[in-house]
Amino acid sequence: MAKKEVRTCFNCSEHMPPETEHFIIDGDPYCKGCVEVREYTACQYYLAGDFMGDSENDDRVDHIQDYDDEYEES
Protein backbone atom coordinates (compact mmCIF):
# COMPACT_ATOMS: atom_id res chain seq x y z
CA MET A 1 0.00 0.00 0.00
CA ALA A 2 1.36 3.40 -1.00
CA LYS A 3 2.35 5.82 1.70
CA LYS A 4 -0.40 8.30 2.27
CA GLU A 5 0.72 11.91 2.05
CA VAL A 6 -1.60 14.35 3.73
CA ARG A 7 -1.30 18.09 3.84
CA THR A 8 -0.75 19.50 7.31
CA CYS A 9 -0.36 22.97 8.77
CA PHE A 10 3.31 23.97 8.88
CA ASN A 11 2.76 25.53 12.32
CA CYS A 12 0.43 23.20 14.27
CA SER A 13 0.40 20.06 12.04
CA GLU A 14 -3.39 20.12 11.76
CA HIS A 15 -4.62 17.97 8.87
CA MET A 16 -6.02 20.06 6.05
CA PRO A 17 -8.04 17.85 3.66
CA PRO A 18 -9.05 19.08 0.18
CA GLU A 19 -11.45 22.03 0.07
CA THR A 20 -10.10 23.62 3.23
CA GLU A 21 -9.62 27.34 3.60
CA HIS A 22 -5.97 27.96 4.36
CA PHE A 23 -2.99 30.20 3.72
CA ILE A 24 0.30 29.80 1.88
CA ILE A 25 3.09 31.83 3.47
CA ASP A 26 6.52 31.67 1.86
CA GLY A 27 5.40 28.46 0.12
CA ASP A 28 4.29 26.60 3.26
CA PRO A 29 0.65 25.79 4.10
CA TYR A 30 -0.93 27.12 7.29
CA CYS A 31 -4.41 26.41 8.69
CA LYS A 32 -7.08 29.01 9.32
CA GLY A 33 -6.57 28.70 13.08
CA CYS A 34 -2.92 29.76 12.99
CA VAL A 35 -3.22 32.85 10.80
CA GLU A 36 -4.90 35.95 12.14
CA VAL A 37 -6.58 38.06 9.49
CA ARG A 38 -6.72 41.74 10.30
CA GLU A 39 -8.83 43.77 7.94
CA TYR A 40 -7.63 47.21 7.06
CA THR A 41 -8.22 49.85 4.47
CA ALA A 42 -5.50 50.00 1.88
CA CYS A 43 -4.04 53.30 0.81
CA GLN A 44 -3.29 54.27 -2.74
CA TYR A 45 -0.67 56.83 -3.54
CA TYR A 46 -0.93 59.34 -6.36
CA LEU A 47 1.70 61.79 -7.45
CA ALA A 48 0.29 64.71 -9.39
CA GLY A 49 -2.73 62.55 -10.24
CA ASP A 50 -0.73 59.52 -11.43
CA PHE A 51 -1.10 56.26 -9.50
CA MET A 52 2.21 55.27 -7.94
CA GLY A 53 1.29 52.22 -5.89
CA ASP A 54 -0.65 51.04 -2.87
CA SER A 55 -0.13 49.61 0.57
CA GLU A 56 -1.12 46.08 -0.47
CA ASN A 57 2.00 45.18 -2.41
CA ASP A 58 3.03 42.29 -0.18
CA ASP A 59 2.76 39.08 -2.22
CA ARG A 60 4.29 36.73 0.30
CA VAL A 61 0.87 35.53 1.47
CA ASP A 62 -1.79 33.72 -0.56
CA HIS A 63 -5.20 33.36 1.06
CA ILE A 64 -6.90 30.33 -0.50
CA GLN A 65 -10.62 30.01 0.07
CA ASP A 66 -12.08 26.52 0.54
CA TYR A 67 -13.87 26.65 -2.81
CA ASP A 68 -10.61 27.59 -4.54
CA ASP A 69 -8.58 24.81 -2.96
CA GLU A 70 -7.73 22.23 -5.61
CA TYR A 71 -5.31 20.17 -3.53
CA GLU A 72 -5.70 16.41 -3.96
CA GLU A 73 -4.65 13.71 -1.56
CA SER A 74 -3.23 10.56 -3.07
Counting every residue, how long is the chain?
A: 74
d(CA 52, CA 34): 33
Considering only 8, 21, 25, 34, the residue that binds Zn ion (CB under 5 A) is 34
Which listed residue (8, 11, 25, 64) binds Zn ion by CB under 5 A?
11
Task: Identify the CA nearest to 26 among candidates 39, 17, 35, 38.
Answer: 35
* 16 binds Zn ion, rule: CB under 5 A: no
User: If binding is defined by CB under 5 A, does position 12 make contact with Zn ion?
Assistant: yes
Binding site for Zn ion (CB under 5 A): 9, 11-12, 14, 31, 34
